């Protein structure tokens, strides 16, 4: 299975217009976590109004205390400031990492842009060391582009 083969299902979830935006985002989280073995926690964070912080949106995986993340703090907070993808092959090597679970070994965060503004991100934790490839990065950019279509 390549990640490319998952794109049509992501598009189907996005186009499911009778579901709310949050329901579709949760369906994407569930789908990615079920289909990709090294995706152990999948969630969305969004800019919290005019505040310089992110607020947790729909997610699947272990519960987290990190429902609000200040810009600049942790991997997600850094992506909110840098507007760049952030792939962390080994979270223990990161000084500015917010630990969600002792089982997490790696993380990837991809920003979501609407009209050129970073409005949020998809955040994926893996319990597998260094699992993320360029294919993951390109696939998740695609997911974020599709999500941007339904965010107002």
Residues 6+ apart with CB under 8 A from 15: none
Report the share of the chain in percent with pLDDT over 90: 87
For residue 122, what pLDDT is reported?
A: 98
> Over the chain, what is the mean pLDDT?
94
The DSSP H or E segment spanning 147 is: helix 134-148
In CATH, the architecture of 7-148 is 2-Layer Sandwich (3.30)
Alpha helices in 92-133 (DSSP H): none
CA pair distance 147, 122, nearest whole angstrom: 10
Tens-digit pLDDT profile for residues 12-68: 999 988 999 999 999 999 999 999 999 999 999 999 999 999 999 999 999 998 999
Question: 114 in helix, strand or coil?
Answer: strand
CB-CB contact of 76 with 121 (8 Å):
yes
CB-CB contact of 69 with 45 (8 Å):
yes
């Amino acid at each position: 299975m390549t990640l490319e083969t998952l794109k049509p299902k992501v598009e189907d979830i996005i186009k499911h217009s009778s579901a709310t935006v949050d329901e579709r985002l949760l369906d994407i989280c569930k789908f990615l976590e079920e289909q990709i073995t090294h995706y152990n926690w999948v969630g969305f964070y969004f800019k919290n109004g005019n505040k310089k912080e992110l607020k947790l949106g729909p997610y699947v995986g272990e519960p987290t205390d990190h429902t609000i993340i200040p810009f600049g703090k942790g991997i997600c907070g850094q992506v909110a400031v840098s507007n760049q993808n952030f792939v962390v092959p080994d979270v223990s090597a990161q000084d500015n990492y917010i630990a969600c679970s002792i089982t997490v070994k790696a993380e990837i965060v991809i920003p979501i842009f609407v009209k050129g503004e970073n409005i949020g991100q998809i955040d994926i934790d893996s319990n597998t060391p260094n699992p993320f490839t360029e294919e993951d990065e390109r696939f998740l950019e695609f997911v974020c582009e599709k999500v941007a279509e339904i965010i107002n």
